[in-house]
Amino acid sequence: MTCNQRLHIAKHLGVLDRVGLVHASPAGRERRYRVDEAQLARAIAGLSSVEATWDARLRRIKQIAEAIQRGRDRHGTQR
């Protein structure tokens, strides 16, 4: 693993630590990270709600686009 890769990983782990998804503890010159399973479960539940909302919106956009395309096909209009 390169130094650059380690820096990127450390940056991401720092963000996860700040939001409480992992907890760091010093181990000599290293830091050990432990996943907070309860926080992760809450995050997943919250994201699932957002996912459902976006899926519904994207389905609606697809329906509208398909309806527009069908209208163009019936009238011979192309774009």
Task: Encode pLDDT of 69-78 as tens digits.
Answer: 999 888 876 6
What is this structure's pTM?
0.61
**Do residue 26 and residue 41 come from a single domain?**
no
Q: How many CB atoms lie within 10 A of CB 36?
A: 16
**Do residue 71 and residue 40 come from a single domain?**
yes
Enclosing domain of residue 24:
1-35
C-alpha to C-alpha distances, 63 to 8, 40, 56, nearest whole angstrom: 41, 34, 11
DSSP secondary structure code for residue 21 in this structure: S
- Stretch 21-35: mean pLDDT: 95
Structure token digits, residue 14: 């720092």
- Bridge partners (DSSP) of residue 34 are 23
Residue where the block lists tokens 């699932």 = 48
pLDDT in tens, 2-27: 888 989 999 999 999 999 999 999 99
How many structural domains comprise the chain?
Answer: 2
Q: How many CB atoms lie within 10 A of CB 12?
A: 11
Does residue 65 surpass a pLDDT of 60? Answer: yes
**Do residue 18 and residue 50 come from a single domain?**
no
**Do residue 43 and residue 30 come from a single domain?**
no
**Do residue 31 and residue 47 come from a single domain?**
no
**Do residue 44 and residue 63 come from a single domain?**
yes
**Do residue 63 and residue 40 come from a single domain?**
yes
